Structure 1
Amino acid sequence: MSYTFEDFEDGDTIKKALAKARITNTRHLLEKCATPKGRSEIAKVTGLDVETLLKLVRGADLLRVKHVGPESMRLLQAAGVETVKALQKQDPAVLTTKLASTNGNHKRQIVERLPNQKAVTAWIEGARSMPIVVFC
């Protein structure tokens, strides 16, 4: 599934900048920015720095996982799971606990409804069946 950038931090600013490179959704972002060279080229066109692009790409990578939407992506990233590759390595029970702790430790909860272990297991299994597309 492909997402637009409204659900990302500073979404409107990001959307306007990426439009300069004709990137309108997360699929386009991954196609053009999955490699350091791609991010460097897009940084020149958009004015966004490479680190910002890398953060966006990592989020877009997680959004490829079935049933991971923008809120879940933000929760995973806040818990230190930034890419599909990182998600592949997780233990479902440990990650479920970590997500609950992470969500509770924020001033404002990231998600209203925490994923249960069954959902987290499905994310991990889904990630394990996916190719790695982001290269740092």
Structure 2
Amino acid sequence: MHGIKARMNRTQKALSKLEKQAYEMLSRRIAVLGYEPDEVFAVLPMGNQATHARLMVFLEYEELNKDYPLLAITELQYACAWYPAVMIRYLYYLLADVGVPPIEELDVYRELILEQHPEKLVELTDLERRWKACLTS
């Protein structure tokens, strides 16, 4: 039993070290782009998969925009066109954990996602149904 506990402790220490390194790496990426890491992590916490994925898309866009200014598209358009599944999971996160933003905001996401990915109609319709149910509750 003692051997198992020792291995679990070593594994936990290694995992904590990896998490700390990931946090530091992301903090550096955010700081290089001119943002305050603590503020970004307050809005997009790393502990949640949906917000972590959303953060990675945001950083990718900002890094591309830094090197090659994308004047024609916004970050939201980029995210919805290239990462619709990430955006849909993020919208579910907003609905479940943050609260229900105005339905007009969902309409913007819906339009941008369906423009490039019409196959996401069923997922977006389900999300909209849940969104409206929360508004009436």
Instruction: Give me the TM-score of the superposition, normalised by structure 1.
Output: 0.31
Give the number of the structure with larger relative contact order, counting CA–CA contacts within 8 Å between residues 6 or more apart.
1
Q: Which has the higher helix share?
A: 2
Which structure is larger by alpha-carbon Rg, 1 or 2? 2
TM normalised by structure 2 equals 0.31
